[in-house]
Chain A
Amino acid sequence: MIEGIIIGLSTALSLTNILMVMVGCFAGTIIGMLPGLGPMTAIALMIPITYGFDPSTGLILMAGVYYGAVFGGSTSSILLNAPGIPGTVATAFDGYPMAQQGKAGKALAIAAYSSFAGGTISAIFLLVAAPSLSKVSLAFRSPDYFALMILGLTAISAFSSKGQFLKAMMMVVLGLMLATVGQDSLSDITRFTFNNMNLTDGISFVLIVMATFAMSEALTIIFRGKDPNRAAKQISLTELGSIKVNKEETIKMAKTIPRSSILGFLIGVLPGAGATIASFLAYGMERNYVNEEEKQKFGKGSVHGLSAPETANNAACSGSFVPLLTLGIPGSGTTAVMLGALLGFGIQPGPRLYQTNPEIFWSVIMSMYIGMVVLLILNLPLIPYIARILAVPRNYLIPLILFFSVTGIYLMSFNNFDIFLMIGIAVVATFLRLYDFPMPPLILAFVLGGLMEETLRRSLLISDGSPNFLWDRPITLIILLITITIVGWQIFSTFRKKN
């Protein structure tokens, strides 16, 4: 392994490759901040550029873009409540309220430190445990994935419901219903399209997230404009851009980062799970770890609540490289694009990559460390300037958020049906938010819907239609027992409060 690290370092620390990491991180951050463009698009944009490069250099550039885009996505989540990718949705839960309290610089700095720590810790895990973890990830079968998704949805309903679990569960069902619109993935039968061609491909994630978060947030601000309790506070520019994190906040982050990194990395290793489930589960887990006083701060600008998902999503990014590099199975959409790029370079990832192209295997791992450092150095000085977005007066900021949302959709489909649909969903979401129906469970359910149906289909076909798959395997059973405990706890706490 030491030999491998030396090979990796010598490749990654060449002048060209350091330059590539820097360019990648910077370009990734900018692209990640743009509406509708996540890491997958950012990497796809880099593929033609990397054709003439040495494979290690090309991969290093793409890894830099990947991390940069994830951080860029967090920036728009925190400042505008507009997460461009599913992995940064949970970041908005506490990042956006913190920014609204005039601590945007601090929120961005916490996100940057947490991303750095999460990415670095998981890169160490990747270095040490990649080969053995690939075996663990292969041990997960469809029923386990199905149970894991049920757990994720129940957990998010429990912690985002503010004591109204049923409302959150209704939003989960609504999200899953929206995910079933369009062609069935196996049989290609169209469902719930009502003969409308525009719905055949289903509803896009960006549309749903822009409608329920960014656009409905903008509409809510206008809608509640006359409410004296919600009148916009005068935010000072110095406070807004300040990236100083005090001792108490550092201690909180130091507690959160290790456990979220481990969870994020382990979830990232599982093919298909990725940064989204990791960030949501880390948020839920963190809420259970902290004391009652801190628990009350969740959703209102908690340091724990911001640090946990940010750490976990970056840790999961590193984790998703495990199945890609060791098994040749991409763990997420983004690593699937990277697999395509690797094949374009004539490299077949898999168990033999470690032996046949050690310089690629190790240099990518080493470039992750370097990428994290570069990302931190590049972004920290820029935070005070980025944070000033929030100082833009409401009369300008709201139309710009709407423009941001519509452009994201228009870029993807070039048709106005999607824009109409987005406006419709945003109006409904605004009214639902008014009556405390939480949106995060809807988003997570929408993201997981397709995968959940697929794993349920496989599980039922394997068990010949019998529900035995739910308790046949110990992993499935344990995950489901945790889910039942969460539901039971919700019911118990409801009755306890009543009495």
Chain B
Amino acid sequence: MRISPTKFISLLFLVLSVFYLYTAYNIQVFAFDENAPFNARTFPIYLGWAGIILSSLKIILPEKVTTEVNHKHLDYKSIIYLIIISLIYAAVILKIGYFISTSLFLFASYYFLGERRWGLMFILSFPFVAAFMYLLHGLLNIYLRDPFLKYIGVMG
């Protein structure tokens, strides 16, 4: 038997709702709140049950409209590259600072998306980020944490 992707997603949602409901029942509330008409676990319990009912209906009821996706037309390679670059960016942003990490992230993203005009790639990464930082930090006075620029004395 072949299960449609929509029903598979609904099944995952059912599992999530069961887990959510289980966690909701286990929320620790104050002793005096235990039998109150409403406490910290009431709303999540309603939501858990709503999730279970809706996902079960979606699994049980026949599909009126099916969503077909042709996987041959999906560019898995580029999206995986982009997600990996984004994850690396998130991992290093605190260590090497906003300016360098963001500039490198932009430069690498342009490259992996097939761009090879090096001059333009450079302008739209390092000077672009510098200008953006100046707008935020210099003009709007919005603090942008950057340990590296602070270390070399560019930022206060």
Contacts and interface: CB of A to CB of B under 8 A. Distances in A.
Interface of A: 31, 34, 37, 45, 162-164, 166-167, 169-170, 173-174, 176-177, 180, 184, 186-187, 189, 191-192, 219, 222-228, 394-396, 398-400, 402-403, 406-407, 410-411, 414-416, 419-420, 423, 427, 430-432, 434-437, 452-453, 456-457, 460-461, 463-465, 494, 497-498
A226 B73 contact: yes
B126 interface: no
16 contacts: A163-B64, A166-B54, A167-B6, A187-B29, A187-B33, A189-B27, A219-B79, A222-B82, A398-B82, A403-B106, A406-B102, A410-B93, A423-B83, A435-B5, A461-B38, A463-B37
Contact of B29 (A189, A400, A494): A189
Contact of A180 (B43, B67, B115): B43
Contacts of A497: 64
B86 A223 contact: no
A423 B87 contact: yes
Contacts of A464: 37
Nearest to A42: B140
A222 B113 contact: yes
Which of A222, A461, A497 has the most B CB atoms < 10 Å from its CB?
Answer: A222
Given A170-B10, A174-B13, A176-B47, A189 B40 contact: yes
A177 B51 contact: yes
A396 B115 contact: yes
Interface string B79-111: 100110011011101100010001001100110
B151 interface: no
A228 B74 CA distance: 11
Given A224-B75, A403-B102, A403-B106, A423 B43 contact: no
A223 B75 contact: yes
B153 interface: no
Given A45-B141, A169-B54, A461-B38, 6 more contacts: A164-B65, A398-B82, A398-B109, A419-B90, A432-B9, A435-B69
B90 A395 contact: no
A398 B106 CA distance: 10
**Interface class of chain A by DSSP:** helix
Contacts of A400: 106, 124
Contacts of A394: 113
Given A399-B109, A399-B110, A419-B89, A456 B43 contact: yes
Contacts of A399: 105-106, 109-110, 113
Interface of B: 5-6, 9-10, 13, 17, 20, 23-24, 27-30, 33, 36-44, 47, 50-51, 54-55, 57-58, 61, 64-65, 67, 69-70, 72-76, 78-79, 82-83, 86-87, 89-91, 93-94, 98, 102, 105-106, 109-110, 113-115, 120, 124, 132, 136, 140-142, 144-145
Contacts of B91: 416
A224 B93 CA distance: 29
A423 B86 contact: yes
Contacts of B67: 434-436
Contacts of A226: 72-75
Contacts of A219: 79, 82-83
Given A166-B57, A399-B110, A453-B43, A224 B74 contact: yes
Contacts of B41: 191
Contacts of A227: 70, 73-74
A173 B78 contact: no
B75 A192 contact: no
Contact of B38 (A37, A189, A457): A457
A437 B50 CA distance: 17
Closest 6 CB pairs of A and B: A465-B37, A399-B109, A419-B90, A227-B73, A184-B40, A395-B113
A189 B24 CA distance: 12
A191 B54 contact: no
Contacts of B23: 192
Contacts of B74: 223-224, 226-227
A163 B142 CA distance: 45
